[in-house]
Amino acid sequence: MASNESKERAYRKLESSSLLQQTMFRYMLEAQAASEEGKLAWVTSGFPVEIPLAMNLGVSYPEQYTAVVGSQKVGPEVCGFAEELGYSQELCSYARAGIGSTDRPDDSPLGGLPEPQVLLACNNICGTVLRWYEAVSKLTGAPVFLLDTPPVQRRQPSHHREYVRTGLEELIDFLGEEFDTSLEEDKLQEVASNSTKAIDLWTKSLEACKHKPSPLNCADRFLAMAPVVSMRGKEHILEYYEALLNEVEGRIQQGMGAIRDEKIRLLWDNIPPWFSIYKFFNGLAKRGVVFPADTYTHAWTGSLEGEDILNRMVDIYSNVYLNRGLRAKVDKMAGLIEEYHLDGFVMFSVRSCKRYSLGQLVSKDLVTERTGVPGVVIEGDMVDSRLFNEAQIETRIDALIEMIE
């Protein structure tokens, strides 16, 4: 029966998905246990998580949880809990869903996140995270620590590097005082090594998508990135990324793509609409459209290994995609289009994520001018489906496909 069903689908399901589910289930259990022990930190996705992990804390990622809220198609309801507290619908839907689920966990998916003891934010992904965590702090009583990373334009000045490094040292002091613990160098080396190995395996799976047909589609990567976002530094996630890479390489050897009839290869820019991720990408797969690359899942790169890990952290966490200027974003997109042999690109202008979406109209023209391939900007949101006009988006995607064909 399963074989007949797979023949009817335009896309292929990853066999390693079951191991991914087990890995994420363990993540939730460990976070719950850490909260009960009074050692849970909520962290932003671009936070140097290796430090709290090396100081024996558990971690939870509110952004990842709110993506789950979106995928469960209850974004409007959970965002509405925050709106009832007075937060505007113009505020980021990750923040609204995070605040709403903290205020009303019993009415939210999975009963909300386990209660935090500290809130660790880094503004290398956006500035809203600080206000979001301050709101959560009022609800939970957990203190907030902000790692401030000034935006990077071209080369990072030495005084910027010293400033960020001082922030990392203050983080170690903050966690030491809050949890009566200290950072052991050997433990930090071990966590940094595990983080680097996971990112290396993940990067190899991403780069394998340069092959035709692409062994992974966009929805595959957005789900598979979950452990490297939430558990990099943990040794046990290496098993999952080894299994994923083996499956990806096996598909390449067999000439098997993520979709059955690859005709058009596109780049995706921005967070996906979580409430429609399967419908959107698998719907286009039926028309032969695959997305071998995107700007989001390529954000976790680089090695943390070396004699001075704090300096490596300054490099990695200061230079994330969203903390760099428009020129760097255009360079990134043009490079992916060339390296992955893409025919065009889709830029998702997310109403909630202003940091990611700012400048997309200008970027679109610059990327087309440099690469010669067409692109389109579609508008919507990643969690709040009230801000997603499916018919309008379909019309714009159709126009892009017609230009390419």
239 residue type, one letter: E
Mean pLDDT of 84-92: 95
The mean predicted confidence, pLDDT, of the chain is 94
- Global pTM reads 0.93
Mean pLDDT of 11-33: 96
Look at residue 2 in the predicted model and tell me its pLDDT: 44
Contact 231, 237 (CB under 8 A): yes
Mean pLDDT of 219-245: 96
Contact 300, 204 (CB under 8 A): no
Look at residue 354 in the predicted model and tell me its pLDDT: 82
Nearest alpha carbon to residue 207 among 383, 336, 32, 328: 336
Look at residue 195 in the predicted model and tell me its pLDDT: 96
47 residue type, one letter: F
What lies within 8 Å, CB to CB, of 97 at 6+ separation is 65, 66, 69, 70, 75, 78, 79, 82, 383
Tens of pLDDT, residues 136-152: 999 999 999 999 999 88
